[in-house]
Structure 1
Amino acid sequence: MSNTVKALGGQPELTQGDVIRLLATDAAARPYVLATLAALAMIFVVLFMSGSDLGGIIVVLFGAAAMALRWTAAPPFLLLVIAYFQLFPFGIPDPGSENPYQVRESHFQVTDMVLVMAVLVYLRGQYRLFGLVHQIVPPDSALKRKGEVPVRRPTAHIRPDELAWMLAASGALVLIGQAVWWLVNALEFVPMESGVPFRWADTRSLRAFSRDQPPGEFRPGQNRFFVLLGILFFGTLLVRLVFGYWRLRVMNASEGAMVLADTSWSESHRERVRLEKWRVWGRRRASERAEAAAQDARQREKEAARKRAAEEERAARKRPKRARRDDQK
C-alpha cells in the first residue's frame, strides 16, 4: 500500500483507495463482503415484496455506501429506515385499520424470518468489515492523541469457518426470537389467579380487545409487555447460570485461582477497607504526634537560645563596668 501514513505503533492508516482495494481483492475479506451485499439484496427483495420499493433502494444504496466509505454510524440508521418502511411500506404514515390478529399471528412467517436473518447477517458482516478497515477495539483513552489511528484486525486472523459460524448463529437467533414471540402471544398475564400468574391465551377470541376488561385481566399489548418482562428476567437468570457454570468448567488452574482471589476480595473488601482506614488513621496520628513533638523540641531550642542570648547580653553589659572599676583601683 503506497498511499499510507505511518501511525503510532507502526500500523499503517488506510486511505479510501486502500479500503476499496482491500474489499475488492482480499481473499480473506471477500466472504464478508459477499455476505453483506447478499444480505442487502435480500432486504431489498423483502421490502419490495411488501410494497416498499423505495425503502429497498434506500437500504441497498445506503448500506453499500456505508460499507465502502466506512460510515460507522450507518447500521443503526439503516435499522431505523427498515423499521420505518416496515410500518409504512409506501413511505407515508397511514394509521389505517388495525387487524386484531395481525400481531398474534406474526410468528414464524417466512418473510419476517428472512428479513430478520438478512438484517442480522448484514449487521454482523458490516461490523466485521469495519474491524478490518476501520477499528476493531476501542481506543485506550477517551481523547485521541495526535497521530493515533484505530487498531484494525489483520485479515490473516480471519478463520475459514468464521462465516459459517456467523450464519449458523444468525439462524439460531432468528428461531429463538420467533419462538419467544410465539410464547409472548400465547400467554396471558393474570396476577389475580392463584399459583402461576400465566395462562394460555385464546388466540382466536376477540374478548381481549374489548374496552371493558374484567378485573385482573389486561389487553394484548399489556400482556405482551408483562410476559416479555418475565421472560427477560428469568431468561437472564438462566443464561447467567448456564454460562457461568460453563465458564467455571472450562477454566484452568491459574484462572480458577484468579477467580478465587477476586471472590475473596469481593467478599472481604469492606473489612479490608475498614482495617486500612484504621491503619491510615494510625499512621496519620503517629505522624501528627511526631510533628507536634518536633515542634515542641524546636520551641524549647528557641527558648534556650533566647535565654543564652539574654545571658550573654547581660554579661557583655557587666564587663565594661568591671573594667572601669579595675582602672580606678
Structure 2
Amino acid sequence: MPGQAASSGPVRSRPRAERVSAFAQRHGALVALVLTAAVSALSFDSFADPGNLQNIAVSAAFLAIVALGMTFVIVSGGIDLSVGSVFALGGVLAAWGSRHGPLVALLLALTVCGGIGLVNGLLIARARLAPFIVTLAAMLGARGLMLNITDEGADTFLVAKDSLFADLGREKLLGVGVPVWITLALFLLGGVLLRRTRFGQHVYAVGGNEDAASLMGASVARTKVSVYVLSGLLAGLAGALNAAWLASGVTILGQGMELEAISAVVIGGTLLTGGMGFVSGSLVGVLLLKVIQNVINQIGSLDSAYQQVVSGAFLVVVVVVQTWLGRRRKARLTSPAA
C-alpha cells in the first residue's frame, strides 16, 4: 500500500504539469497584456484615456490583419517575409484607385496583393522552393513595383477626405473606428476557419507533418497555396484600410512590418515550427506590442528605438519558453509511465 501511494503522486502531477504548460502556451501573452495595461494605467493618467485607447486600437488593427494571415502561414509550417511590402503596395494601389470609387480601390489592392500571394504559394508548394527565399524575393519585388508606380516615391496618391473610401478608415461605429470592427470580424471568421473547418484541420496537419497530412487525405500543395493567398489578401486589405485612414498611400510604410507580425504571432503562442497556434493569441500579441510602444511613447525620455529592443526581447523570451515547454512535453510523452 505505501508503494501504491508513492506511485500515485507522479501520475497526478503529470496532468497538472501539462495543464500549466498548455495555459502558459495559450494564455501567457494575455496575462502579460493585462498586467502591462494595469501597470500602465496606474503609472500614466493619460494611458486609460478613451482617446489614447482608441488610438492604440486603430493602430493595432492594421498590424493585426497582417498578423492574422501570418498566423495561417506559420501554423502551416511556412513563413511570409513579403507582407510588409505587400501592405505598402496595397495602400498605394488603393489610394490610386480611390478616385474611381471604394470598390475599385479595394478590388485593385486585393487582386494584385492576392496575386503576389498566389505566386508565393505556387513556387513554394509546386516548385518546392524554400518559403524564406520565395517570400524574400516577393518582398523586394513588391517594394520595387510600388516604387515604380510612385516614381521612386516622388508621387503620393491622395484619398479625398470626403470620399466613401476615406470613411472606411475614418468613420466610427458606436464610438469605435471602423477598421477595429473590420479587424474583429476578420479574427472571428479566421478563428472559425482555423478551428472549425476541414481547411483549418489541413493547415494544422500540414504544419505538423506533411507526410502524415498527405496520408490522411489533405492536399498539401493546395493548403500551402491557400494560406499564402490568404496572407497576401489580408496584407493588401490592411494596406488599403491604412490608406483610407491616412487619406494617402504612403510609400515608406510597411518596412519591418513582417517582423512585427511574426513577433506578434509567436508571442501569441503559435509555434514557429508549425502545427500549433491560435488566431486569438495573435490578436493578443499585437495588442501587447502596441501597448508597449504606447507606454514607451508616454515615458517621453526613451527613444523610439527602444520599441524594437523591447519587442525583440519579448520575442526571444517567448521562443525560449516555447522551446522549453516543448522539450518538457516531449520528455513526458516519451518517458516510461511511473
What's the TM-score once normalised by structure 1's chain length?
0.30
Does 1 or 2 have the higher relative contact order (CA < 8 Å, sep 6+)? 2
What's the TM-score once normalised by structure 2's chain length?
0.29
Q: Highest CA radius of gyration, 1 or 2?
A: 1
